[in-house]
Amino acid sequence: MRTAVDSSILLDVVVDDPQYATGSEAALRAALSSGVLVIGDCVLAEIRPAFRAGEIEQFLDDWAIDFIPSSRQCALLAGEMFERYLSQRTRGKAAARVVPDFLIGAHACEHADRLLTRDRGFFRDYFKDLVLVEP
């Protein structure tokens, strides 16, 4: 089983978030025990500011998190979902989603079997075939 991990889960653990760290760490351990953890470009970029120079590689190694670069298919799928979002937004749906959210979902669709995230509602709305795991 290949589990893509959303940046919110990793940041919970890195910054020891008082509300979410325990659940996110347990979910990471459970996902790792059943397979491989993966992240893509957007997640790596989003978590990088939480580390001092040189620390991120050790964190990724400690958690056995594989980096899988994005692909053209991911970008196109993300663009499709972003277009759907924009068309819904013009019909009165107000939200503040940005392209990286769609790239993370598309990356999980293309390179993993499921996505570990705390943002289940968003991904369920736009990536209907993606299996979602919450802490």
Each residue's pLDDT tens digit, 23-63: 999 999 999 999 999 999 999 999 999 999 889 999 999 99
Specify whether the CB–CB gap between 1 and 34 falls below 8 A: yes
Q: Which pLDDT score is estimated for 98?
A: 78
Domain boundaries along the sequence of the chain: 2-133
Q: Which pLDDT score is estimated for 11?
A: 97
How many Å apart are CA 100 and CA 78, to the nearest integer? 9
Computed over every residue of the chain, the mean pLDDT equals 92
How many Å apart are CA 7 and CA 129, to the nearest integer? 20
* Residues with Cβ within 8 Å of residue 33, at least 6 apart in sequence: none
Specify whether the CB–CB gap between 74 and 106 falls below 8 A: yes
Superfamily of domain covering 2-133: 5'-nuclease (3.40.50.1010)
How many Å apart are CA 29 and CA 70, to the nearest integer? 24
How many other C-beta atoms are found inside a 10 Å radius of the C-beta of residue 42? 23
Which tokens is 81 given?
A: 């979902």
Q: Which pLDDT score is estimated for 119?
A: 86
